[in-house]
Amino acid sequence: MQSGFQDSDILSYLTLPQDYNPLPSVDPIEFLKRHLHELPPNIIQRFSLVTTPKQRTTITGIRNRRLKFTESRPRSLSFAVARNTWPTLWQGRERRGQEEGKEEQEWAKMNFLGGSEQQVGNLAKLLGDMEEEREAERVRFIQRTQANDDFVPEEESDSEDENDSEYPEIQEPESPQEAQALFERRIRERFIYGLLEGADYDSVDWDEWLDVDDDRNAEERWFDDD
């Protein structure tokens, strides 16, 4: 069992027997499906020790929290930030080095040696080429080290055809605006399904204030029935 994760503490809080099935440490996902809305932040955050963001995707309440988070247009998932954080997902990544190089050239022309063209000479172009190569190498490095896992977990999957119809193949964009919109959509979807490596899932998955009204109403009805 992971250090800091004790079944007894969790079960005691919920006044459940110590031989409760499923045990949090044995089947944490099933346990969360049943008790997600009953645990306080200081306890439920411990489940980060025994689950991954991808595994937690099968929990409807957590998917809903992620969806609501993405709909708030957080800066961490904005185009400007995301294209640098996850460059291999950006369809315009082949232009990223050129963009960075152009910015470096403009900086040199405007700021180096007073912006004198005669003094600057070819320095601006040299700096631009170096920056373009650095960015291209950064993207290549991330491509080699970052797994490009497009698997989308499902709670239930009856057939491959159904999955294909629910998640149709995305057409390649034809304009820069379409490319950006597609990228932003891909970032949001991958975040919801736990596939964005390095994203701050814990602050979203365990935030009860992101629960949608249906989740809160369902919990109230559950207590009423008891």
Q: pTM for the full model? A: 0.64
pLDDT for residue 205: 97
The verdict on residue 7 lying in a domain is: yes
Over the chain (226 residues), the average pLDDT of each successive run of 10 is 79 95 96 95 94 96 95 92 88 54 57 54 57 59 52 47 44 73 92 94 95 59 43
Q: 167-190, pLDDT tens digit by residue? A: 445 555 567 888 888 899 999 999
Decide if 103 contacts 131 (C-beta within 8 A).
yes
Q: Are residues 81 and 190 in the same domain?
A: yes
Residues 42 and 91 reside in one and the same domain: no
What is the 3 state secondary structure string of 95-164? HHHHHHHHHHHHHHHHHHHHHCHHHHCCHHHHHHHHHHHHHHHHHHHHHHHCCCCCCCCCCCCCCHHHHH
134 located within any domain: yes
Nearest to 22, CA basis, from 11, 36, 6, 13:
11
Domain assignment of residue 151, yes or no: no
d(CA 46, CA 4): 7
The predicted structure's pLDDT at residue 192: 95
Q: Are residues 95 and 129 in the same domain?
A: yes
The answer on 91 and 72 residing in a single domain is no
In-domain check, residue 103: yes
Is 98 within the bounds of a domain?
yes
Query: Does any domain span residue 159?
Result: no
Residues spanned by the domain of 94: 87-145
pLDDT of residue 75: 92
Q: 17 lies in a domain?
A: yes
What does the pLDDT read at residue 175? 79
Residues 40 and 80 in one domain: no
pLDDT at res. 161: 44
pLDDT in the model for residue 119: 52
Q: How many domains does the chain have?
A: 3
Across the chain, mean pLDDT equals 75
pLDDT at site 87:
86
